[in-house]
């Protein structure tokens, strides 16, 4: 991913160094110019940047004039501009914002405010470029003016002439915000707003009403149906952009808070289930201490070697697919689970239910939905002679097929009540012979590549 670019425009070499030092804590590319006209404006025109930090008092072209020129050019009017100056009276600050600046910082506050301001503006600008706004209005002129204005500010825009047309577009072009008129043919703003908020997949999208000032009663009705805000026509694009950025920023923070809440909830649940797994291993005569953790470690190495997403590999290792794949044994009777000798056929049938039990334990937890099938199918055989569903070949989830190989290796090399663990060499030979029948050939190949890294006779 390319780094964001910041242009510093200041005629003072000392100030340029100070600003560069301040911004060095950010992962950005920095360009410099020593005046507004000969270097600043020309550089932005020829080398697209994501943000400009400019002084006010400069030769050739001062910062206020540079700001105005950048804002007047359709190619550069969406670039956030930070003005930093020794002139920090209310009049000077007002001049800066009137010229189109996004922020105005006094030089005496540079070391405390610049980095936070720049980081916030870059994040907001980046969010805008990925955000899609749906404009719904029966007036083609309004759709065109508002759509073009938002696109110039960096937003993606989709348009529709009424609520019915908008709903038809939403499935393939899910917007991050909806801007809608009230009076429209076929489906008006009331019906459209109601339909959006009654759909669980759409109800979180901020809904903004466009209306004339004489329709305040209609605006109140739209707000009662779930609309978040309103704008009276006519409005200017800057006014609209400020409102949209505020709503999207609020929604972004709410989503972050919800993500953090779910993450904390998941950690608590995982901690509780991990404690169960540890207790389970302690009471299970057939499962050697550390079995689950070792299977998880082997599977994660196989996953990384297969080129799978590292974040998902780590997530699955830390969560359930490896460490807690046998959690369903918690539902097996002690008389069976703790039996010191070999199991009868009936007792083995009871043991064979533990993948289903494990999946059922996890199923009520929404955040574990992507790993339930791994827990349920890790004892399936490649030749369809496994359990609980008798799946065959690639119908078995890939992660479950990898777990089957790692599980087999650890089981063969571990001591059991009725036998001593095998040597690594003998276990590897058995796994090789089971390739294509009990075990997936591709996963066996991955496993042997891992053993080559470990040292074939030393084990993992």
Q: What is the CATH number of the domain that holds 374?
A: 1.10.3210.10
For residues 171 and 242, state if they share a domain: yes
For residues 103 and 141, state if they share a domain: no
**Which letter does DSSP use for residue 435 in this model?**
B
For residues 234 and 331, state if they share a domain: no
Digit-coded pLDDT (tens) for 233-278: 888 888 888 888 778 776 555 555 555 665 666 666 666 666 666 6
Query: Any idea which residue has 């600043």 for tokens?
Result: 40
For residues 322 and 431, state if they share a domain: yes
- Could you tell me if residue 209 is inside a domain? yes
- CA 422 remoteness from chain centre: 44
Q: So what's the pLDDT on residue 125?
A: 74
For residues 425 and 294, state if they share a domain: yes
For residues 194 and 331, state if they share a domain: no
List 177's β-bridge partners, or say none. 133
- Could you tell me if residue 386 is inside a domain? yes
For residues 319 and 418, state if they share a domain: yes
- Could you tell me if residue 142 is inside a domain? yes
Whole-model pTM: value is: 0.45
CB 9 within 8 A of CB 53: yes
Boundary residue ending a domain (213, 238, 253): 253
Residues 6+ apart with CB under 8 A from 452: none
Residues 6+ apart with CB under 8 A from 253: none
- Could you tell me if residue 259 is inside a domain? no
Phi, psi of 366 (to 5 degrees): -55, -40
For residues 355 and 446, state if they share a domain: yes
For residues 333 and 383, state if they share a domain: yes
For residues 124 and 136, state if they share a domain: no
Region of 436 please: left (phi>0), alpha (psi -120 to 50) or beta: left
For residues 98 and 155, state if they share a domain: no
- Could you tell me if residue 362 is inside a domain? yes
- Could you tell me if residue 272 is inside a domain? no
Provide the domain limits for residue 340. 284-454
CB 93 within 8 A of CB 218: no
Boundary residue ending a domain (128, 148, 176): 128
How many domains does the chain contain in total?
A: 3
Whole-number Å distance between alpha carbons of 376 and 389: 9
- Could you tell me if residue 263 is inside a domain? no
Structure tokens at 235: 């409005």
Mapping DSSP onto H, E and C, the string for 173-211 reads CCCCEEEEECCCCCCCHHHHHHHHHHCCCCCCCCEEEEE
- Could you tell me if residue 361 is inside a domain? yes
Per-residue pLDDT tens, the chain, 460 aa: give them.
Answer: 478 889 898 888 899 899 999 898 888 889 888 876 656 677 777 778 889 999 888 888 888 888 888 888 877 877 888 998 887 778 888 888 888 888 898 888 888 889 988 888 887 777 667 788 999 999 999 999 999 888 877 788 999 999 999 999 998 888 889 999 998 999 999 999 999 988 888 888 889 998 887 778 888 888 888 888 888 888 888 888 888 877 877 655 555 555 566 566 666 666 666 666 666 655 555 555 566 778 888 888 898 888 887 777 876 676 554 456 777 877 778 777 767 677 788 888 888 888 888 888 878 776 677 778 888 898 899 999 999 999 999 999 998 899 899 989 988 888 766 668 888 889 999 999 999 999 999 999 999 998 887 764 444 4
Report the CATH number that the domain containing residue 61 is assigned in CATH: 3.40.50.2300
Boundary residue ending a domain (113, 128, 143): 128
For residues 175 and 293, state if they share a domain: no
């Amino acid at each position: 991913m390319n780094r964001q670019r910041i242009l510093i425009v200041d005629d003072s070499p000392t100030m340029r160094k100070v600003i560069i030092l301040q911004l060095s804590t950010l992962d950005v590319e920095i360009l410099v110019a020593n005046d507004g006209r000969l270097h600043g404006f020309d550089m932005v025109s020829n080398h697209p940047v994501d943000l400009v930090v400019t002084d006010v008092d400069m030769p050739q072209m001062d910062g206020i004039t540079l700001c105005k020129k950048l804002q007047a050019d359709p190619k550069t009017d969406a670039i956030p501009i930070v003005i930093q100056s020794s002139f920090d009276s209310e009049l000077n600050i007002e001049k800066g914002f009137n010229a189109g600046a996004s922020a105005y910082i006094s030089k005496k506050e540079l070391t405390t405010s610049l980095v936070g301001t720049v980081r916030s503006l870059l994040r907001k600008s980046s969010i805008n470029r990925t955000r899609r706004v749906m404009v719904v209005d029966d007036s083609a002129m309004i759709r065109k003016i508002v759509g073009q204005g938002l696109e110039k500010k960096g937003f993606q825009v989709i348009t529709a002439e009424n609520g019915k047309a908008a709903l038809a577009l939403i499935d393939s072009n899910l917007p991050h915000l909806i801007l809608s008129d009230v009076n429209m043919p076929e489906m008006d703003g009331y019906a459209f707003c109601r339909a959006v908020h009654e759909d669980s997949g759409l109800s979180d999208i901020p809904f903004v009403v466009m209306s004339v000032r004489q329709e305040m009663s209609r605006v109140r009705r739209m707000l009662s149906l779930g609309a978040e805000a309103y704008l009276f026509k006519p409005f200017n694009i800057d006014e609209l952009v400020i409102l949209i950025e505020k709503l999207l920023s609020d929604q972004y923070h709410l989503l972050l808070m919800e993500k953090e809440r779910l993450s904390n909830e998941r950690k608590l649940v995982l901690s509780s289930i991990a404690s169960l797994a540890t207790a389970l291993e302690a009471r299970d005569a057939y499962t050697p201490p550390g079995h689950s953790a070792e299977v998880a470690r082997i599977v994660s190495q196989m996953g990384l070697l297969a080129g799978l997403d590292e974040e998902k590999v780590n997530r699955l290792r830390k969560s359930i697919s490896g460490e807690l794949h046998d959690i369903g044994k918690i539902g097996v009777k002690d008389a069976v689970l703790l039996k010191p000798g070999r199991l009868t056929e009936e007792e083995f049938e009871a043991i064979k239910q533990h993948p289903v039990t494990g999946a059922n334990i996890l199923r009520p937890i929404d955040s574990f939905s992507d790993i339930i099938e791994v827990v349920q199918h890790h004892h399936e055989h490649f030749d369809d002679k496994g359990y609980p569903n008798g799946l065959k070949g690639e119908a078995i989830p890939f992660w479950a097929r990898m777990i089957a190989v790692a599980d087999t290796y650890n089981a063969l090399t571990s001591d059991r009540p009725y036998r001593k663990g095998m040597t690594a060499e003998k276990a590897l030979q058995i796994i090789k012979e089971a390739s294509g029948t009990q075990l997936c050939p591709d996963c066996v190949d991955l496993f042997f590549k891992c053993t080559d890294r470990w040292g074939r006779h030393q084990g993992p």
